[in-house]
Amino acid sequence: MDTRIARSFRIVSLATAVALFAACAGHEARHSGGVTAFPSGGEVVTNMLARFSSLNIQCGGGTKPRLTCSGVYMRATKRGEDFHVWNPNPESQNKNSVSFSWLNKSGSFGGLVFGYDNGFTLLPPDQAWEAGFDPISALCLFPYDAATWNRSDDGCGAYPGIPDSGPCQAQGITEADQWIARYRDHGMYGHQCSFDTHLVWPVYQGWEVRSKLPDLHKLHNEVMLRAWRKDDPGLPLESFFYIGGSAKGRGEAMANQRDFKAVIGRWVPVVQIVLPQSEGSDAYFRYLPEDQAVPETRTASIPSAMH
């Protein structure tokens, strides 16, 4: 990257931190309930495609990292557990965070964790705020699956027994090439450090790692998001998705849509997603009326969220 651009990233770092702190302070518990209008299924997939295709590396006039306004936050899920899939796993060791993958044309991947075939998506913080939901902020990111279940510090810290797997910046790792030199030949997973998601430059470098290692494209990335309350009506859940071609995934997504409408009172679409199978390829997002277990409803009566 041009050194002038790199310098500009560093100059805005302090302003970014201040802006994000102020934004987060004002983003708590803003969902007050009532009858609310929501986008159609067609509008949802159009929005998802636009965010996937966006190559902007900054948001908010250059003060915020791209995670706040672009990409598609995907959480792979499996029915049959003792909790609704849209809630944080009560058995997780990381009680304050939830693991997602972030899909963007410059941060794409070809498969989900454990080979899962369905899940749900969340709106990024900026769009969640605009839509009247409670933004869910990112805590850290790993270029690849980082076995965060066993990590300290809400999944962002070191993996047990691997001292150099803590946060990147604390180890002086601030560039993609440094990250690759340290971790590429160690099998990933526990052998990774996490990038800070509050500043533009570290987030950019995190995705630069993936662009420099196209042979590892299929392996998903991992972004830790702040956890939310059980059955929170302010959760910016955007869609339930399934991977194109999976009848089982489609069935689970439809069942999750039905449960969400019954519990939360809000309709969200079931969306088919086809993941890109090579770096730089397109993803496809499709809204199909026959995939909807619940007829499309543009309004809902949402209970107040008490935080």
- Contacting residues for 61 by C-beta, under 8 A, at least 6 apart: none
- What SS3 class is residue 261? helix
Q: pLDDT, tens digit, for every residue of 24-51?
A: 433 344 554 444 678 999 999 999 999 9
Domain-embedded: residue 30: no
Among 139, 137, 103, CA closest to 221: 103
CB 76 within 8 A of CB 116: yes
- What SS3 class is residue 32? coil
Q: pLDDT, tens digit, for every residue of 202-229?
A: 999 999 999 999 999 999 999 999 999 9
Domain-embedded: residue 283: yes
Q: Which residues pair with 37 in a beta bridge?
A: 299
How high is the pLDDT of residue 1? 43
CB 293 within 8 A of CB 256: no
Q: Which residues pair with 271 in a beta bridge?
A: 241, 287
How high is the pLDDT of residue 81? 74
Given a cut of 70, is residue 23 above it in pLDDT? no
Domain-embedded: residue 268: yes
How high is the pLDDT of residue 268? 98
| Domain ranges, residue 111 | 3-24+38-302
Number of domain units in the chain: 1
Domain-embedded: residue 33: no
Given a cut of 90, is residue 108 above it in pLDDT? yes
How far, in Å, CA of 44 to CA of 110, rounded? 22
Domain-embedded: residue 172: yes
CB 121 within 8 A of CB 291: no
- What SS3 class is residue 142? strand
How far, in Å, CA of 235 to CA of 174, rounded? 32
CB 186 within 8 A of CB 109: no
Prediction pTM value: 0.87
Domain-embedded: residue 140: yes
- What SS3 class is residue 256? helix
Among 118, 90, 86, 98, CA closest to 234: 86
Q: Can you give the three-state secondary structure of 77-118, one letter per residue?
A: CCCCCCCCCCCCCCCCCCCCEEEEEEECCCCCCCCCHHHCCE
Q: pLDDT, tens digit, for every residue of 190-203?
A: 999 999 999 999 99
Domain-embedded: residue 183: yes
How far, in Å, CA of 136 to CA of 299, rounded? 23
Mark residue 184 as left, alpha or beta (left: phi above 0; alpha: psi -120 to 50; beta: remaining).
alpha
How far, in Å, CA of 73 to CA of 121, rounded? 5
Domain-embedded: residue 272: yes
